[in-house]
Amino acid sequence: MKKKGIILLVILVIAVVAFLVFGLPYIQRHFNEVNVSADNAAVTASAEDAVDGTGKTDTITVYFTRVGNSNFEKDVDAVASASLMTTGNELVGNSAFIAGTIRNKVGGDIYSIKTVKQYPSSYSDTVSVASDELKNKEVVKLKGQLPDMSKYKTVYLVLPIWWGTIPNAVGEFIKNSDMDGAVIYTVISHGGSEEGSCVEDIKKLTKGKVSDNFLTVYDRDTTECKEIVEDWLKEAK
């Protein structure tokens, strides 16, 4: 009896240690507050609604991110709200940060996909909402007028992977955009699963040439992704 108790205690201790070493960091992977440099975030912050509209460029960076499409309280706690970064008082989504990095390098226009509906501020609630969207094949309405995508030859499309695929909002953007004459370079921001079926799913929705030279960025590595993104851009153009 005593021996059984000791064995149980040992198993319990091992389980607790395993949880602290492996489980906790995994659970907390979306709960990291990071201060990002204002230089990198500046481009995204000014890209609130639309392209810069000069009409002089054939390159555009399009992105979708939770920030700007979610009901974050003004004093949102970035620590408790998955994968948010702050620069000063500004919230920056991972995909927005990557899009800003690309745009800083290649220039051109930038466009942020915005949804009419707002996602919940809670990460796990957003995960549930997105699951329903996928199951119900929900047509997620987009806010504002979409840019005339037919004038661009190069499109950088930056998105978070949601449930192994592209968010429905991104699907709506692609379906309603004439990118027939464009090469589309995809960047997938992810929490560990890499690209899933994103690239293949984008190919199904557009007549544009979707390059197989895509890039994946792990969400926790976002703030250190500048060099990787810039290296990738040397080939992706």
CB of 181 or CB of 191, closer to ligand FMN? 191
Look up residue 163 and give its two tokens.
Answer: 């449930």
Q: Which letter does DSSP use for residue 181 in this model?
A: T
- Binding status of residue 179 toward ligand FMN by CB under 6 A: no
- Binding status of residue 95 toward ligand FMN by CB under 6 A: yes
Residues 6-65 touching ligand FMN, rule: CB under 6 A, are 30, 65
Under a CB-based contact definition with an 8 Å cutoff, are residues 214 and 195 in contact?
yes
Which listed residue (186, 189, 206, 216) binds ligand FMN by CB under 6 A? Answer: 189
State in angstroms the smallest separation of the CB of 221 from ligand FMN.
Answer: 10
Which listed residue (51, 113, 130, 140) binds ligand FMN by CB under 6 A? Answer: 130
State in angstroms the smallest separation of the CB of 4 from ligand FMN.
Answer: 41
- Binding status of residue 83 toward ligand FMN by CB under 6 A: yes
Which listed residue (68, 160, 171, 208) binds ligand FMN by CB under 6 A? Answer: 160
Contacts for 80 with CB less than 8 Å, ≥ 6 apart: 31
- Binding status of residue 191 toward ligand FMN by CB under 6 A: yes
Burial group, residue 226, by CB count within 10 angstroms (0-12, 13-18, 19+):
middle
CB of 143 or CB of 209, closer to ligand FMN? 143
Contacts for 147 with CB less than 8 Å, ≥ 6 apart: 50, 51, 60, 109, 111, 177
- Binding status of residue 193 toward ligand FMN by CB under 6 A: yes
State in angstroms the smallest separation of the CB of 134 from ligand FMN.
Answer: 9
Site residues for ligand FMN per CB under 6 A: 30, 65-66, 83, 93-95, 123, 126-127, 130, 160-164, 189-193, 196, 219
